[in-house]
């Protein structure tokens, strides 16, 4: 594993704070279709997100495809002018994303807190049911790679009796922090890089806590700090020093 430290060129492509909620029966999606004037200048782009339902069946041995049914607007998406910051006001929750280049945790969480206040004041909410921090990292690794263990502490296992050239891989585990009652989905995947002589390894860490939390409590911000700590522990525990040095 790599030593825990600040990486000047961290490979974070998207950082997400997500709060799932249980709305009351008086919910109206149109209440989420606009931002206050001060925020509208910062997030001028708005896009309604719609959902649809479809299906298929077999009749007399033939495939019958049902016409998609429009279920209406599910969320509103707001983007900053440069597209680097994104808000989602959804029927089932709130999300804030910071895209590459990443700034820092204090900046991300303070912006999320400000926007959550806008969302929660418009919604009649029963409670928060899931608090999550998700960080998607793209690790650009130089070729050739003789052994994935040079870069990952949990590389994909390849039996020695079969060809050793790996074209792609995908692994996923769910880990549980017993002491703090936190969970995390940890996924590793390899994809082709846009840069010649490199390969990209995606390290996707979704740390979360389930429960029923009061909408107005400051407890969720303490939980988010704990989830960020778990995310960092997983990140540095998943890579080697060889990998960490690539992003200093």
The 10s digit of each residue's pLDDT in 176-235 is: 999 999 999 999 999 888 888 999 999 999 999 999 999 988 999 999 999 999 999 999
- Residue 200: which domain range? 1-18+134-248
Pairwise CA distance, residues 162 & 149, whole Å: 18
Tokens describing residue 170: 């995908």
CB 54 within 8 A of CB 67: yes
Q: Is 64 part of any domain?
A: no
Q: Is 107 part of any domain?
A: no
Give 219's contacts (C-beta < 8 A, 6+ positions apart). 213
Q: Is 48 part of any domain?
A: no
CB 31 within 8 A of CB 76: no
Q: How many domains does the chain have?
A: 1
Pairwise CA distance, residues 188 & 227, whole Å: 19
Q: Is the pTM of this model over 0.85?
A: yes
10-residue stretch averages of pLDDT, the chain, 248 residues long? 95 98 82 91 94 75 76 91 97 96 96 96 92 98 93 93 89 97 98 89 98 93 98 98 97
Q: Is 36 part of any domain?
A: no
Q: Is 24 part of any domain?
A: no
Q: Is 236 part of any domain?
A: yes
CB 128 within 8 A of CB 18: no
Pairwise CA distance, residues 243 & 248, whole Å: 10
Residue showing tokens 């390849």: 158
Q: Is 215 part of any domain?
A: yes
Q: Is 221 part of any domain?
A: yes
State the average pLDDT for the chain: 93
CA distances from 118 to 4, 16, 95, 223 (A): 35, 17, 12, 20
């Amino acid at each position: 594993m790599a030593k825990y430290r600040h990486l000047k060129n961290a490979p974070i492509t998207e950082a997400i704070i997500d709060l799932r909620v249980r709305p009351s029966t008086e919910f109206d999606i149109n209440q989420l279709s606009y931002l206050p004037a001060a925020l509208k200048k910062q997030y001028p782009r708005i896009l309604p997100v719609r959902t649809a339902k479809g299906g298929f069946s077999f009749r007399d041995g033939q495939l019958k495809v049902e016409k998609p049914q429009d279920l209406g607007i599910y969320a509103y998406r707001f983007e900053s002018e440069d597209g680097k910051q994104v808000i989602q006001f959804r029927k089932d929750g709130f999300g804030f994303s910071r895209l590459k280049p990443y700034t820092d945790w204090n900046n991300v969480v303070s912006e999320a807190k400000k926007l959550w206040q806008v969302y929660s004041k418009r919604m009649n909410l029963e409670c928060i049911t899931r608090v999550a921090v998700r960080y998607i990292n793209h690790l650009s690794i130089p070729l050739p790679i003789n052994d994935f263990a040079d870069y990952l502490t949990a590389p994909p296992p390849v039996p020695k009796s079969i060809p050793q050239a790996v074209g792609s891989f995908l692994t996923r585990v769910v880990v549980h922090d017993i002491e703090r009652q936190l969970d995390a989905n940890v996924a590793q995947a390899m994809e082709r890089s846009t840069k010649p002589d490199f390969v990209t390894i995606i390290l996707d860490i979704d740390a979360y806590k389930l429960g029923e939390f009061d909408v107005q409590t400051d407890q969720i911000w303490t939980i988010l700090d704990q989830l960020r700590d778990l995310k960092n522990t997983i990140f540095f525990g998943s890579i080697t020093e060889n990998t960490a040095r690539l992003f200093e």
